[in-house]
Every structure is written in structure tokens, then in C-alpha cells.
Amino acid sequence: MIRSANVRLLAATASAAILWGCATPQIVDQAEQGRQQQADQQAQRAADAESEAARAAGTTQTGPAVASTDPARPFVRPVSPPPGPPAQLPPDVLPLRFEQRAYAAVPQWAATDVGAARRAFLRTCAQWARRPANARLSEVAIYAGTIGQWDGVCALAADTAVSDRAFWEQNFTPWMVSAPDSAPGRLTAYYEPLLDVSTVQTDTMVEPILSRPSDLITVNAGDFDAGLSGRTLVGRLQGGALVPYRTRAEIDATTAPVLAWGTMGDVLSLQIQGSGRVRFEDGREMRAAFTATNGHPFRSIAQELVRRGVLSRDQASMDNITAWFATAPADEARAVINANPRTVFFELRPITDPTAGPGGATGVGLEPNGSGAVDPRYHPYGLPFFIAANAAVLANSPDATINRLLIAQDTGGAIRGPLRVDLFWGTGDEAGLRAGRVNHDVRWWVLLPNGLDPVATGAR
């Protein structure tokens, strides 16, 4: 029997994804807009995660949490008051439905590699260890319980004597998740670009990767009007007033510091994805991490090329757009890219773990094919979930069917809905090609620690 939790969750609609080889302009536009929205959120998410980690690590009234190498002084976990009522939600909400299942009923479970998800889960557990045990995983998606209810499985996750499959099967129960209308969800995928860059401008490396300008100001409009909560203004001071920041065409090396130079198509891809790795002439690699945008609305490069008659609507894929920039006359290419007034600013960070992707919404490095972006209004960060997806139009492709166990560690502007997921595929061109083919129907199962009932836990 399907059990419907009284977990009231915000309704939302799914958006299309990047289809690198077969996208229509509308799909590319939606994907670009979603990535830009996701990039806008990353700086605030990183700040929130840093603030939460600092608060959990040592700002509670009981004194700081102390990590020590002395066995006689073990890590002291922060303490907080018992959790209060869950956050209030608007009335236009939908319930999730949960149905307990056996692993034998989860499609292709036995054939799916579940090791990547375990590695991702360990990173989440390390982060949870800095939070109070009685804190909920999410104040909105409350069905997954509290940190303390996951302590046992987190401790077992580090036991290398237990195989990956045995770890999940022995300690977690699958629950099939569905929306009230029983419609399938939507799976897309994203990746981290790897760009060859130069420290100086060359004949081919003509587009700067820019650092945040010193005069750029961001303002949380909600600080001035509660009705504008969640809205951000971006501008600069001029004559004692805050005015809109410069457009892409008005920004150059004299108004924003240059971190590196790349090809126009590569830098456009970096801005769409929101972060990426850059490789300098000497082979050194660093991560270009999002810091801000100039606040202007996004305008589609795909639509601009179609409007100019350069590409037909059927040709306006990201691959073809990048290829066009590589051969287009410089003046025309500059005019096309400047038709989008929006630009993104970055900072260079060292890559401490080459196997991990960029930091997700919680700040932990994403695991290729083990991390996914979800809508946090429906599912908490750190949640393990299994997806079974298919796309009939890709019948002859190895990616026509996708089965993965993922950990919810990211989100994005286009990731909206109860069964919406964006799979992090990895780093580099091959990951980009594979990710670009993904636009699948998907079914969901969440994996919860044995004994944790999402219906009872999620009741409000």
C-alpha cells in the first residue's frame, strides 16, 4: 500500500537541460538560464555553508566544538536546544508519497556501481559531524529525520571491511517516492569544464576570465523590504547612488582583474556551468570558482545566432555554438557575445582533491556519478537516493538507460520539482558530451537508515 506522508512541499516545474549534440535553441536557452541562476546562488550557498559550519563548530552557548588528536580529548559535538516546529510553508504545496520496497524491486540495483555514492556520503557525514545531533537534516524536507538518526550509518560508512553493496543493503531501506500525479520525474546532467588557458592574451585566447571587480556591490533586498526576500541587487556607487553595474560590453581588463585568457567559446561554457578547471601553459591546474555576476539579465546566445541567420534553429546546439566562435570573424563574435549583457566573475582556487568535482550547495566536493543536484524544498542535502531513468530517443546510445545511486549535494536554478535531479557526470570534454545527452524520464527511491519511517517522521 502506498503511504502518503503529510509532508507538505512546494510545487514547482522542471526545466530542460543542456543537450550538447541535439538541443533546440529553447532547450539550450533554458539550460543556460538555469546554470546562470545556479551560479547566482553559489556564492550565497557557500557563505551559508561556511556560516553554518562555523556556527556548528564552535559558536553554541555550551562552548566551542573541539577536534583533537589526543584520544583523551575526543571531538566534542555542539549542542543545541530541541528542534522546534518545522518551517512554515506556503499553502500551495504537494505531498510526497512513499512506498517501502525491497532491493530486489529496485531496477538494476544489483548491477549498479554504488561505490561513488558511498564516497560522496562520507564527505556529507564529515560535515554532519559538526552539527548538533538533534538538528534536522532539513527544516523544510523533514521526512529524513535528524543528524543523530544518521550517526550509526555514518560510522559504518567508514568501515572499509564492509563492501559498498553490503553497506547500503544492510543499513538502509529503499522507499519509492512519487508525486500525487504519479508522473515521472526529470533527469538531466551537468559537468565541470576543463579549459586550456593562457596568462596572456593571444590570437586565440581572446576572452578574459574575470575576477570580481572591487567596485561591485551586492545588496540583499530583503534586508530593506521583507517582501523582497531572496532578491539581490547588483550595482556600483555613482554620485552617492547605487546604479546598475556595467554590462558585459562595458567590462574589460581595465574595470575587472583578469585571471586568465581563454577562447570565447570555452569561457562562455565556463560561465554557463558556473565553475570549472583551468589548465595553464605550464600544465598547472586550478579551479575557477564562481564569485558573482554583474546582475544583468541573461540573453540567449543561441537565439542571437538564429536571429542573425548564422545557425538554424535545429543547429543551435552548444557544440555548434562553440565551434562557430572558434572560426567567426573577431568583430562578429564580439558583437554576438556582447548581445548577452550578463557576465560571471570567478576566483582561482587550488585543487586539493583532483578526484573530486567543484563544491556543491553544501560546500563538499562533488563525486562524479555519485552526487546529484535536487530541489532542497523537497529533499534534504546528504540524502542517498537511487534513480532509474530512460530516454527512448537515445535507444542506440549507451546512455539510453541510466541507473545511479546518488547523494543530494547540490541544487540549481533549473532544478525545481519533487522528482527533479541533475546528475554530476564529472570533469572534462568527455563528461560534457555524456552529460549533454541526458534528458530522461526518471523514477526515484530514497534510501533511509533502517527503522526511519519517512511517513511518521515527515508528519506535521
Give the number of C-alpha atoms closer than 13 A to the C-alpha of residue 172, restricted to the C-beta side.
29
Which CATH number among 3.40.50.1820, 3.30.70.2740, 3.40.1170.60, 2.40.40.10 corresponds to the domain 3-52+87-189+364-457? 2.40.40.10
Could you give the CA distance from residue 430 to residue 409 in angstroms, rounded to a whole number?
22
**CATH fold of 191-349, please?**
Ribosomal Protein L25; Chain P (2.40.240)
User: Measuring CA to CA, which residue among 292, 306, 297, 291 is closest to residue 341?
Assistant: 297
CATH 2.40.240.50 segments of the chain: 191-349
- Where do the H-state alpha helices sit in 107-263? 115-128, 151-157, 164-171
Could you give the CA distance from residue 33 to residue 246 in angstroms, rounded to a whole number?
20
CATH 2.40.40.10 segments of the chain: 3-52+87-189+364-457
CB-CB contact of 402 with 438 (8 Å): yes
pTM over 0.85: no
Each residue's pLDDT expressed in tens, for the chain with a length of 460 residues: 443 333 322 222 223 333 333 333 443 444 445 555 554 544 444 434 433 333 333 333 222 233 333 434 444 566 666 667 776 664 555 789 999 999 999 999 999 999 999 999 999 999 999 999 999 999 889 999 999 999 999 999 999 999 999 999 999 999 999 988 878 899 999 999 999 999 999 999 999 999 999 999 999 888 888 777 668 899 999 999 999 999 999 998 889 999 999 999 999 889 888 889 999 999 999 999 989 999 999 898 999 999 999 999 888 777 788 889 999 999 999 999 999 999 999 999 999 888 889 988 888 999 999 999 999 989 999 999 999 999 877 766 788 899 999 999 998 877 888 999 999 999 998 998 888 889 899 999 999 999 999 999 987 5
Phi/psi for 345 (5° steps) reads: -110, 150
Q: Which residues contact 177 (CB under 8 A, 6 or more apart)?
A: 96, 97, 98, 385, 418, 419, 444, 445, 446
